[in-house]
Chain A
Amino acid sequence: MNRRAGAGWAAVRAAIAAAIVLGAALPLYLLLKQAITPERESFAWPPLWLPHRIVGTHLHAVFALPELRGAILLSLGIALLSAALATALGAMLGYAMARSGAGRAAGFGALTAARLLPMIAVAIPLAIGMGRVGLYDSPSGLGLALVHSALALPVAALMVYPAFAALPREVEEAAWLDGASPARVFVLIDLPQARGALAGAFVMAFILSWDEFGYALLIQVTHRTLPPLLYYYMVFGDVGAASALALLMMVPAVCLVIALGPMLRGAMAAGGLR
């Protein structure tokens, strides 16, 4: 390659890098700007690209409005409960996958079911069925938390399965020979071994629930979690509150990006499976 072509390529590469960074940064900037400017400025025509007056009212409203505070707590509770459930059940299934062919068949079957069933085909009958047992639109959000854990369960199992498979069977067998019950061996030897993978599965399940929109829209129709609430603010025109809420919803994702950094690739690839 001659030098002129080399310089040309370098320019192209720099332009691509700039386009990628701009594509990621510009939307986030616009979100931030909408959240901290007064309503009149957010709706200005032609639009203003730089904030002229900065106000904290929208961000303040996120924590001051009872409706919003309730939604934050509800979302947080549902995400924590479903993450805990999905991790616990996923650990069981992941262990079975590592130890038997039947377990692997069950694991991949569960994954296929979770991936192939369209949300709408499950959510409508689920809403009807939950109505019968008092879980539909419940103030506690228990019904939604259970669905979210079912969605995350197979992915959690797939994430912890390699950690269990990596543990040599001889270690388990030695513990059995020493008289430990299989359950004891699982809790004292296998689970600690899979600590990292279990933490990853918990984070994945938490984010899945925190971001989930479709089931939440159909099941929590008045006791809304954050994603459907954001949708209502957008559609019914409370732009300031919507932007502040959107900013708040970004917090777990941003924490994840900062905390995981280089590990992000693997986590995202696994997240792509949900």
Chain B
Amino acid sequence: MNRAGRTMRAVFIAVPALFMAIFLVLPAVSGAVLSFDVGGRLSLGNYRALLGDRMFWRALLGNLAIPLGSLAIEFALALGLALYLGARRKPPAAVEVAAILPFAIPEIVLLAIARYIFIPRGYLNGALLAAGGAPLGWLRPGSALASLVVMAVDAWHVTPVVMLILLAGLQTIPPELYEAAALDGAGALQTFRHVTLPLLTPALVGALVLRGVDALRIFSTTLVLTGAEGTPVLSTYAYLLWSDSQEPRVAMAAAMMLAAMVTLMGLAGIALGRRFGASGVAA
């Protein structure tokens, strides 16, 4: 009886694991092999080709700057929102739904809306004009402004996720601590600095690990808003090499660089999570 139970558990692990291996892990492994293949021989040629391409360096830089910027924006916004929504005087429920809504909208739809807003003859420039200002080239390829818009739009979509993790973290802080701080005559700023922030650290680290990995994988936001060459990142750069230049091997070399970055970030995240007892990290 127990043996039959053990057999069933083994099958219940093996079948999903096999499925994951076939459709996610093995393709990545075969892609890694492909990235070292030049004319059927083992070689670093594809990686050398990358290093000689100026677009690769732009994509690498973009893949560092854009995630960093978008993380900074979304954490600032999310912390503010979480403190606001988690306050003792609850805001109306409609505000909470509105704060979560951007994440419920499919990403591609949100990007479609962002295009209406930021294109040269879009709503933002319309508003600027109406206010007596001059229209700006928000999405001009290669401009710092375009990178900034990409960061902001990316942050707009995922801020609710970070906010929910921080909100859950805030709710674990015992109210007695706030009462004690108030009795000791601590101001709002001091309470935040000495009570809220230290106790929120696990949630902050958890959210940072979760989002840090995602932020590095940015693809659709840059592709849809500025085109693959406008604000290049590694994913869109590899996509261009694959779909336009028909260079699957060099494309895989670029994809493997990204995979290495994400893995490093993930390992750093696991170490950080251990150190700070991060919450909200399932991976």
Task: Give chain A's interface residues, CB within 8 Å of chain B.
Answer: 13, 16-17, 20-21, 23-25, 27-28, 30-31, 34, 43, 45-47, 49, 89-90, 92-93, 95-96, 99-100, 102-103, 106, 108, 110-129, 146-147, 149-151, 153-154, 157-158, 176, 181-183, 186, 210-211, 213-214, 217-218, 227, 230-231, 234-235, 242-243, 246, 249-250, 253, 256-257, 264-265, 268-269, 271-273
Contact = CB atoms under 8 A, between A and B. Distances in A.
Contact of B24 (A45, A114, A243, A265): A114
A93 B16 contact: yes
Interface in B221-246: 223-224, 227, 234-235, 238-239, 242-243
Given A13-B84, A117-B28, A150 B12 contact: no
B283 A121 contact: no
B134 interface: no
A210 B106 contact: yes
B122 interface: yes
B231 to A, nearest CB: 15
Interface of B: 1-2, 4-5, 7-9, 11-13, 15-17, 19-20, 22-25, 27-28, 30-31, 34, 81, 84, 89, 91-92, 94-95, 97-110, 112-117, 121-123, 126, 129-130, 156, 160-161, 164-165, 168, 210, 213-214, 216-217, 219-220, 223-224, 227, 234-235, 238-239, 242-243, 248, 251-252, 255-256, 258-259, 262-263, 266, 280, 282-283
Given A122-B27, A182-B4, A250-B109, 7 more contacts: A27-B105, A45-B126, A110-B16, A118-B235, A268-B160, A269-B161, A272-B103
A218 B220 CA distance: 12
B112 A24 contact: no
B149 to A, nearest CB: 14
B116 A272 contact: no
A267 to B, nearest CB: 9
Q: Return the 3 tightest CB-CB contacts between A and B, nearest first.
A: A125-B31, A272-B161, A47-B126
Given A21-B94, A121-B258, A116 B283 contact: yes
Contact of B13 (A106, A118, A127, A151): A106
Contacts of A106: 13, 16-17
Contacts of A30: 113, 116-117, 123
Nearest to B80: A16
Given A47-B126, A230-B112, A256-B104, A181 B224 contact: no
A206 B16 CA distance: 18
B25 A125 contact: no
A181 B6 CA distance: 12
Nearest to A29: B113
Nearest to A261: B97
10 contacts: A13-B84, A21-B98, A30-B123, A49-B123, A92-B13, A95-B9, A102-B9, A106-B13, A121-B255, A182-B1
A230 B109 contact: yes
* A interface, over-half SS: helix
Contacts of B224: 231, 234-235
A85 to B, nearest CB: 8
A124 B259 contact: no
Nearest to A185: B5
A150 B24 contact: yes
A268 B100 contact: yes
Nearest to A183: B8
A231 to B, nearest CB: 6
Contacts of A96: 9, 12-13
A53 B238 CA distance: 44
Contacts of B252: 121, 124-125
B282 A111 contact: yes
